[in-house]
Chains A and B, each alone.
Chain A
Amino acid sequence: SQQGEEDPQALSIQEGENATMNCSYKTSINNLQWYRQNSGRGLVHLILIRSNEREKHSGRLRVTLDTSKKSSSLLITASRAADTASYFCATDLIAGGTSYGKLTFGQGTILTVHP
């Protein structure tokens, strides 16, 4: 079963608006990563947040992590048509005190930004 559950499954907004995507997970993590995928292409890494961090910024991206709620959010500010893509969260799980380094991906949020 998927570790990450993303919400919403699809999001449609106008250019200039902010887009927020959420990710929930079930077990302890070492880190959580967000990736972007344009249609028919591979994934591109956006940002990594470690379990001892609460917030991280990169350009127009802001990621938060709440380990008590086992959830993360990705905020894209001032969105552009070029931000149209699928966005995935991926968790680096800890099992039995060991991080295996494998990523478990959520099902993704499809973001459409209308010009």
Chain B
Amino acid sequence: DGGITQSPKYLFRKEGQNVTLSCEQNLNHDAMYWYRQDPGQGLRLIYYSQIVNDFQKGDIAEGYSVSREKKESFPLTVTSAQKNPTAFYLCASSPGQRTPQHFGDGTRLSIL
């Protein structure tokens, strides 16, 4: 079945540590997105990529970095510069602009 796979499901970060969240899709979608969701809140866009080797900052990009070397993969690194990283991170993809997005089941990041 086609879909989006996020791993790990749970992740713990120590102070000063960078961690990388994985997102892989086999839907052959051009566009991919990373969102952050805090408890009781909606989703906020961190980064998005409309094509391989290109990505743009979203609304809350500070303290995060991404790469898009392959169409299928869009990993997100939460750097030590992100002072409040505890949240639920969701990856999504879509065939292109103005189309529905398909979501993975998220990674919950906590601080040790």
Contacts and interface: CB of A to CB of B under 8 A. Distances in A.
Contacts of A43: 43, 90, 92, 101, 103
Name the interface size band of chain A: 20 to 34
Name the interface size band of chain B: 20 to 34
Contact of A103 (B40, B101, B104, B106): B101
Contacts of B90: 42-43
Given A41-B105, A41-B106, A42-B106, A100 B43 contact: no
Question: Main secondary structure on chain A at its contact with chain B?
Answer: strand
A88 B90 CA distance: 14
Interface stretch (A14-22, A69-77, A105-113): A105-113
Given A101-B31, A101-B50, A107-B42, A33 B100 contact: yes
21 contacts: A4-B42, A30-B98, A33-B100, A40-B106, A41-B105, A41-B106, A42-B4, A42-B105, A43-B103, A90-B43, A101-B94, A101-B97, A101-B98, A102-B33, A102-B58, A103-B101, A105-B42, A105-B43, A106-B42, A107-B40, A107-B42
